[in-house]
Amino acid sequence: MYIDYLKNDYSDRPEKERINYVNRDKKHLGGLIQERIANDIDNIVERWYELDDIGYIAENEKFLYLLKEAEQLYTFAYYTGTISIVGIASEEYCRFLMNSKSIEDVDRQIDRINKLKEMQVITDVQKDNFHKIRKIRNDCMHYNTSFKELTHSQLKEYALKMLRLYKACLESLSEDIHSNYENIEINILASRELTFRDFIYRSRNIEKKVNNIDLQIDPGINNLVFTSRYYVAEIDTETSRFKEMTLVDMERLGLPVIIDLTLPQADRIKELGIKQGNVIVATVLSTITTMGQSEEWHLVNIQDIYRGVIGLNELEHFVQVLKR
């Protein structure tokens, strides 16, 4: 069964009125799409986790764009499309390898693969993988009886196998993240394909892989609450757009924490006469995101104030004096 009727052209309406009707329908259709994704989100995520991770490949080539497209199709359970696209991507990658080694291209993929192996451009394993991809792709494209009779779960197995075989062939292009860490970070940040949240998520994983720095909070913790002596490194309560204060935990010297202030809190800080360079005893709180990291930090209370003004360059010495 196939049903369309997703659109109504409203041709019986005046143009200006018709546009309003169409825009309302588009908004409703957007909600239907979001609902469909939301209802299947757990399965979509699980399918993402089934994909192999091959790191970072710097080339901007069609065979990588096709990989992204195939992975998207797989995660949304469009398995026949996945198989077709991986087959096309595999051919495109082989052509790329032929061209990069100045080898004259041939008409058929079977000959192309064998030629690449003959010229020692690919390994025996890569050759076998390319041939496996080619055979599955041919069954799909010709829609052979054996392929038509595959169940949905069998199609899924083929699609995942195709992706894994193809990514294994691509792995030799993957850059050593340890030696190219800074360039990779810069390139990922400059990418227009990633949202900021996506960039932060991938950067967190890169930090763990490269520097063994785990930037996550334990999954069992929902909030972080600290009471400590804080050095007031900066106060900004005069701007109209936002109010904030930068604090340095004197008992856990490290990165400064930027506190988002409410309007009443900003007014209270002015009333208390807290200035940059003061030390306060305060409690701060942050909720933990689904990525396992702290969000904005908020001020819970201020319990005490040391009104002496300490220069930032004097802070470490001052902390040592307090510890004696």
Separation between Cα atoms, residue 303 and residue 282, nearest integer Å: 6
Count of CB atoms situated within 10 Å of the CB of 104: 7
Kindly report the backbone phi and psi dihedral angles of residue 113, in degrees, each rounded to the nearest multiple of 5, phi listed first.
Answer: -65, -50
Instruction: Provide DSSP, 260-287.
Output: E--HHHHHHHHHHT--TT-EEEEEEEEE
Q: Which pLDDT belongs to residue 121?
A: 92
DSSP bridge partners of 236:
244
pLDDT along the chain (324 residues), means of 10: 88 91 94 95 96 87 96 97 96 95 93 95 94 92 85 95 95 72 76 81 83 84 90 85 87 81 90 90 90 88 85 71 62
Last residue of a domain, one of 174, 191, 214: 174
Report the C-alpha gap between 89 and 78 in whole angstroms: 16
- The CATH code of the domain that includes 170 is 1.20.120
| Residue 30 counted as domain residue | no
User: Is 13 inside a domain boundary?
Assistant: no
- Determine the residue type at 80: T
Global model pTM greater than 0.85: no
Cα–Cα distance between 258 and 286 in angstroms, integer? 11
CA atoms in the 13 A half-sphere facing the CB of 304: 7
Residue 319, pLDDT score: 67
Q: Same domain, yes or no, for 166 and 235?
A: no
Judge whether 90 and 169 are in contact, CB under 8 Å.
yes
- Give ∠ CA 31-33-34 in degrees, rounded to 5: 65
Tokens of 77: 């359970």
4 within a domain of the structure (yes/no): no
d(CA 195, CA 303): 40
The whole domain housing 312 covers 223-323
